[in-house]
Structure 1
Amino acid sequence: MISSYRASFNEHFSEKKYKGFLEELEEGFAGIPFRVAETPVFIPETLKEKLVAAGAEIVKLIQQPDFKQLTEKSIPLNWRVPAENGQPHFLTFDFGICKDEQGNLIPKLIEMQGFPSLYGFQAHLGETYKKAYSLSEQLTPYFDGIDEAAYITLLKEVILGTHQPHEVALMDIDAPNQKTAIDFLVTAQYLGIKILSLSDIKKEGKHLYYEQNGQKIRLKRIYNRLIFDEIGSNTGLFKDSFDPREELDIEWVTHPNWFYRISKYTMPFLKSEFVPETFFLHQLDTIPSDLENYVLKPLFSFAGMGVIIDVKKKDIEEISDPENWILQRKVNYEPVVQAPDGGVKVEIRLMYLWAEGKEPVLCINLARLSRGKMIGVRYNKDFDWVGGTVGLMEK
């Protein structure tokens, strides 16, 4: 999108360079099971300013005194976790890049989460693109004058809190075998924390611990990467470990309730040029006559599961739990990233860190390139110049 960088990158691109980039990205880590795109996204200043403004509008809603009241019904009763704190530690907002009526680039909100994303991997990815392709030192994946050192310092503050690294662990169901395991490994390298599967953690009274070299190490804080939707009804997984819904002497980063509070559930409350019109399905007075311009989304799902793109009136009428669905005006992605054989659509995720008692800070970004009907791996099989990437901006 910054035409000078794009033209130069494409002119000098080769499959050999791309292969070398992937080898450098994976060096010292396990292989990456998801597709990483051939190219970064070069974000122009005008689009960057709109992304920052769009994010600021959403943050303003989240910081309203009545936000918890607005979102109280977002948390499923069977997944409510006690001892919720006053703020999330992470905010991520996904924007599709579109064009307005004047032909200018504009971000449109697709989804949002109060849950961590690839905060370790994206820093590593940005530096590797720059190094492997010999890109300008004037390019950065960071916002607001942040550099890598300042970013990692803030990441430590948010994830470690007041504790020592050995008292903090990154946790997922089966952490080593998650698709995002490389992010876990990079994060552990930056922070010195343990990576634990749910089964690695045991409970005594209200305390949690893990074992290392025959010693019990008490956990004070969990960097939570476990999504309850993945557990589903399989709560037997908690039997030999611990149940997060019990009263525990543990700090959560971030508390699991925020996964639901800041989610698709929040979108109907947002009124902005950067947010497509969104309705709770059970509050819809009449079904729009132009359903081809809408998409139907379940509130409680992730990775695009359950989304109905080509909505029919019958689809809406057959939903038995409309309170758990939203109807959202479609966003028309513009193929603004120029690949050697045509345009590619892009989605940009703004990633914030929010240290306790402070203001949220927009730090870094994640981008995804797509030629398919939707953003995401399952919709982009057999394409090149698609997949996960990062936006680079001029300092």
Structure 2
Amino acid sequence: MIPAQRQKYNQQFTTEKYQNFLKELSQGYPEIPFRVAETPIFIPKALKEKLIAAGEEIIKLIKQPNFKTLTQKAIPVDWIVPNENEQPHFLTFDFGICKDKNGELTPMLIEMQGFPSLYGFQHHLAKTFKANFDIDTSVNYFLNGFDEEKYTKLLKEVIIGKHQPEEVALMDVDAPNQKTAIDFFVTQKLLGIKILALEDIKKIGKQLFYEEDGNQIQLKRIYNRLIFDEVANNTEIFKNSFDPREELDVEWVTHPNWFYRISKYTMPFLKSEFVPETRFLNEVKTIPGDLENYVLKPLFSFAGMGVIIDVTEADVTDIKDPENWILQRKVNYEPAVQAPDGGVKAEIRMMYLWPDGGEPQLCINLARLSRGKMIGVRYNANFDWVGGTIGFMEE
């Protein structure tokens, strides 16, 4: 998207360099199970400023005094967790890169989450790109004046808080074997916190403990990577550990309720040039005559699961719980990233950290490249110049 940067990168690219880059990226870590793209994205200043403005509009809604009231129905009744705090610690907004009516690149909101993303891995990924390819100093993967030292300090403040690293754990069902485990291990190396599977944690009274070298260590803060949707049909797993819905003497980073509050559920409340028309399906009185220009999305799903891309009237009328679905105008991605053999579509995730008692701060980003019908691994099998990457943005 910055022609000079793109041309320079593509000219220096070789398959051998890319393989060396991948080797260095996973050195000392388990094999990365998802595809890492051959290139970063070079984002011009005008597009960066639109991405920042779009994020600020969303944050303005989240900071409204009535936001919790607006989003109370977002949390499934069976998954309400007590002791919710006043803010999420993480905000991530996914924007498709499109063209506006004037032919200029513009972001359009696709997804949003009050849930952590690859905050450790993205920093590692960008550093590895820089070590293996000649990337200009006029672009930066950090935003908002952040550098490695400032970013690591804020990450520690948000995730560890006032505790000792050994009293804080990154938790998922089977953490070491998750698809994003590389991020877990990078984060552990960066912050010194534990990585625990759910079954590693035991409850005594209202307190949580894990065992290390025969000692019981109290867990005071959980860096939560467990998505309840993944375990909704298997709550038996809590019997060998603890049930997050019980009253517990532990702090959450971020509290599980925020996963639901800041999600697809929030999008119908947003009115912006950067947000496609989005309505709760139960509030759609007349089915649009141009359904081919819409997508149907279940509120409670992730990673594109359950999304209906080519919507028919029967799809709409067959849905038994329309209050749990949104109808959203399709976003037409512009193949704006030039691979050696043509244009590739891109999505940018703007990633914020929100420390206790502070303000949300835009720090870093994540990007994905796609040639398929949707962004995501399952839609991009057998393609190259696709997958996870990072944006280097013009200063």
TM-score normalized with structure 2 length: 0.99
- Asked whether the equivalents of residues 9 and 134 of structure 2 are also in contact (C-alpha less than 8 Å), the reply is no
Match of 1:98 in 2: 98
Within 2, Cα distance between the matches of 1:206 and 1:144?
A: 40
Match of 2:84 in 1: 84
Q: Give 1:134 shift.
A: 2.5
Within 2, Cα distance between the matches of 1:72 and 1:137?
A: 45
Q: Give 1:136 shift.
A: 2.1
Match of 2:47 in 1: 47
Within 1, Cα distance between the matches of 2:100 and 2:136?
A: 30
Within 2, Cα distance between the matches of 1:139 and 1:147?
A: 13
| Offset from partner CA, 1:125-178 (integer Å, 9 cap, x none) | 111111111222333211111111110100000000110100000000000100
User: Aligned ranges for residues 180-259 of structure 1 at < 5 Å?
Assistant: 180-259=180-259
- Asked whether the equivalents of residues 96 and 108 of structure 1 are also in contact (C-alpha less than 8 Å), the reply is yes
Match of 2:260 in 1: 260
User: Could you tell me which amino acid in structure 1 is paired with residue 130 of structure 2?
Assistant: K
Within 2, Cα distance between the matches of 1:284 and 1:254?
A: 33
User: Aligned ranges for residues 26-175 of structure 1 at < 5 Å?
Assistant: 26-175=26-175
Match of 2:316 in 1: 316
Within 1, Cα distance between the matches of 2:286 and 2:16?
A: 55
Counterpart secondary structure, 1:137: coil
User: Could you tell me which amino acid in structure 2 is paired with residue 246 of structure 1?
Assistant: E
| Offset from partner CA, 1:78-99 (integer Å, 9 cap, x none) | 0000000000000000000000
Counterpart secondary structure, 1:344: strand
Within 2, Cα distance between the matches of 1:16 and 1:280?
A: 49
Match of 1:21 in 2: 21
Q: Give 1:259 shift.
A: 0.2
Match of 2:9 in 1: 9
Counterpart secondary structure, 2:29: coil
User: Aligned ranges for residues 299-378 of structure 1 at < 5 Å?
Assistant: 299-378=299-378
Q: Give 1:244 shift.
A: 0.1
Within 1, Cα distance between the matches of 2:258 and 2:16?
A: 43
Within 2, Cα distance between the matches of 1:20 and 1:139?
A: 23
Q: Give 1:365 shift.
A: 0.3
- Asked whether the equivalents of residues 170 and 224 of structure 1 are also in contact (C-alpha less than 8 Å), the reply is yes
Q: Which residues of structure 2 form unaligned runs of 5+? A: none
Within 1, Cα distance between the matches of 2:281 and 2:235?
A: 29
Counterpart secondary structure, 2:349: strand
Within 1, Cα distance between the matches of 2:390 and 2:261?
A: 26
Counterpart secondary structure, 1:273: coil
Within 2, Cα distance between the matches of 1:52 and 1:276?
A: 17
User: Aligned ranges for residues 279-290 of structure 1 at < 5 Å?
Assistant: 279-290=279-290
Within 2, Cα distance between the matches of 1:183 and 1:245?
A: 26
User: Could you tell me which amino acid in structure 2 is paired with residue 128 of structure 1?
Assistant: T
Within 1, Cα distance between the matches of 2:209 and 2:149?
A: 31
How well do the aligned residues superpose, as a CA RMSD in angstroms?
0.6
- Asked whether the equivalents of residues 377 and 387 of structure 1 are also in contact (C-alpha less than 8 Å), the reply is yes
Q: Give 1:341 shift.
A: 0.2
Q: Give 1:343 shift.
A: 0.1
Within 1, Cα distance between the matches of 2:96 and 2:135?
A: 25
Within 1, Cα distance between the matches of 2:157 and 2:287?
A: 47
Match of 2:296 in 1: 296
- Asked whether the equivalents of residues 113 and 259 of structure 2 are also in contact (C-alpha less than 8 Å), the reply is yes
Counterpart secondary structure, 1:239: helix
Within 2, Cα distance between the matches of 1:341 and 1:195?
A: 41
Percent sequence identity is 71
Q: Give 1:338 shift.
A: 0.1
Within 1, Cα distance between the matches of 2:202 and 2:134?
A: 47
- Asked whether the equivalents of residues 95 and 108 of structure 1 are also in contact (C-alpha less than 8 Å), the reply is yes
TM-score normalized with structure 1 length: 0.99
Higher mean C-alpha displacement, 246-255 vs 137-146: 137-146
- Asked whether the equivalents of residues 126 and 140 of structure 1 are also in contact (C-alpha less than 8 Å), the reply is no
Counterpart secondary structure, 1:155: helix
Counterpart secondary structure, 1:31: coil
Counterpart secondary structure, 1:61: helix
Moved over 6 A (4+): none
Within 2, Cα distance between the matches of 1:214 and 1:116?
A: 31
Within 2, Cα distance between the matches of 1:166 and 1:394?
A: 38
User: Could you tell me which amino acid in structure 2 is paired with residue 129 of structure 1?
Assistant: F
- Asked whether the equivalents of residues 54 and 274 of structure 2 are also in contact (C-alpha less than 8 Å), the reply is yes
User: Could you tell me which amino acid in structure 2 is paired with residue 154 of structure 1?
Assistant: L
Q: Give 1:28 shift.
A: 1.0
